[in-house]
Amino acid sequence: NKRIIIAIDGPAASGKSTTARKVAEQLGYTYIDTGAMFRSVTLKTLERGMIDTVRSSPETIVSLLQDLTITFSDERVILDGRDVTSAIRENRVSRDVSFISSLGPVRDRLREMQQEMGRSRGVVMDGRDIGTVVFPDAELKIFLIADARERAKRRYAELAAKGASGSELPDIASLEQEIVERDRADAGRTLAPLKKHPDAVEIDTSALSIEEQVVMVRDLALAIL
Ligand code: C5P
C-alpha cells in the first residue's frame, strides 16, 4: 500500500476538519489541521499585544515567527509548549485570523512546517491552499463546499454542543455573516487565496451527512491506494 497525501480545501465551516479527521482515522493516517496553525499565530499575536502594531507595520510579525513552534498531539494543538486547543477557537481569534494569514512571512513559515509534516506522506491535511500551494502533488485533492446558511447552522450546533453561551454563542445570522466575510477575505487575498485546484474533486456537503461525506472521500482515496 502506498502512502498518499489527501488535501482537503474549502471555505469556512464546510465540514473539512470533521471529514479529514475521520478519513485519517479510517486510513491510519495523520490528520493535520492547518487552520489551527494560522489560528495559533493569530492567538500569539493577540496575547503579545501586537495586533495593532502588526496592522500598521506588517513586517513586525517576523519577531513572533522566530521562536514559533506548533505541534499536534492526540487532537491537542500545542503552541510554544502550551495547549491552546480551545483558546484558538475564541471569537477574537476568528476575527483576526484572515488578516494574519494574508501576511507573506506567516504563510512562508507555516508552509515550510506543513511540508515537513507531510514529508513521509500518509497525511490528510485540511485548509485553504493545501492542494494549490502546499502540496500541489497531493494524490487526492478535495474541495468541500456547502451553502453558507447550512454552514452557519452547523457551526451554531457545534458551539451549542460545546456548551457555549452568551457572547461565545452568536445567533445563526451573525455566524453566517462572519463566515461569508472570512471567505471573501480568504478568496480575495493575493497570496495563496482560497481556490479550487483544477484537479480537485468538488463535493457539495449541503445535503450530506458527515458519514456520507467521509465515505465519499475515503472511497476516492481507496481507489488510488
Ligand atoms: O480552517 P479554519 O476556519 O480554522 O481556518 C482559519 C483561517 O486560517 C481561515 O479563515 C484562513 O484565513 C486561514 N487559513 C489559511 N490557509 C490555510 C488554512 C487556514 O489561510 N491553509
Residue 123 DSSP symbol: E
**Best of 106, 128, 189 for a ligand 1 pocket test (most atoms within 8 Å of beta carbon):** 128
Binding residues for ATP: 10-18
For residue 218, report the distance from its CA to the centre of ligand 1, in Å. 23
Could you tell me whether strands 30-33 and 123-127 are parallel, antiparallel, or unpaired per DSSP bridges? parallel
- What's the pTM value of the predicted model, to 2 decimals? 0.97
Going by alpha carbons, the residue nearest to atom 7 of ligand 1 is: 35
Distance (Å, rounded) from C-alpha 162 to C-alpha 158? 6
Q: Is 182 in the pocket of ligand 1 (CB under 6 A)?
A: yes
Q: Along the 225 residues of the chain, how does pLDDT read in single tens digits?
A: 789 999 999 999 999 999 999 999 999 999 999 999 999 999 999 999 999 999 999 999 999 999 999 999 989 999 999 999 999 998 899 999 999 999 999 999 999 999 999 999 999 999 999 999 999 999 999 999 999 999 999 999 998 998 989 888 999 999 999 999 999 999 999 999 999 999 999 999 999 999 999 999 999 999 999
For residue 111, report the distance from its CA to the centre of ligand 1, in Å. 12
Binding residues: 10-18
Phi-psi group of 122: left, alpha or beta (phi > 0 → left; psi -120 to 50 → alpha; rest → beta): left
Please give the pLDDT value at position 117. Answer: 98
Residues 6+ apart with CB under 8 A from 10: 16, 128, 142, 143, 144, 145, 194
Could you tell me whether strands 76-79 and 70-73 are parallel, antiparallel, or unpaired per DSSP bridges? antiparallel
**Best of 186, 189, 194, 197 for a ligand 1 pocket test (most atoms within 8 Å of beta carbon):** 186
Please give the pLDDT value at position 1. Answer: 74
Please give the pLDDT value at position 113. Answer: 98
Residue 111 DSSP symbol: H
**Full DSSP string of 71-95:** EEETTEEEETTEE-TTGGGSHHHHH
Taking the CA of residue 17 as reference, the ligand 1 atom at the shortest distance is 1
ipTM above 0.95, yes or no: yes
Please give the pLDDT value at position 50. Answer: 98
Q: Is 104 in the pocket of ligand 1 (CB under 6 A)?
A: no
Going by alpha carbons, the residue nearest to atom 12 of ligand 1 is: 98
Q: Is 14 in the pocket of ligand 1 (CB under 6 A)?
A: no
Q: Is 35 in the pocket of ligand 1 (CB under 6 A)?
A: yes
Please give the pLDDT value at position 128. Answer: 98
Going by alpha carbons, the residue nearest to atom 1 of ligand 1 is: 35
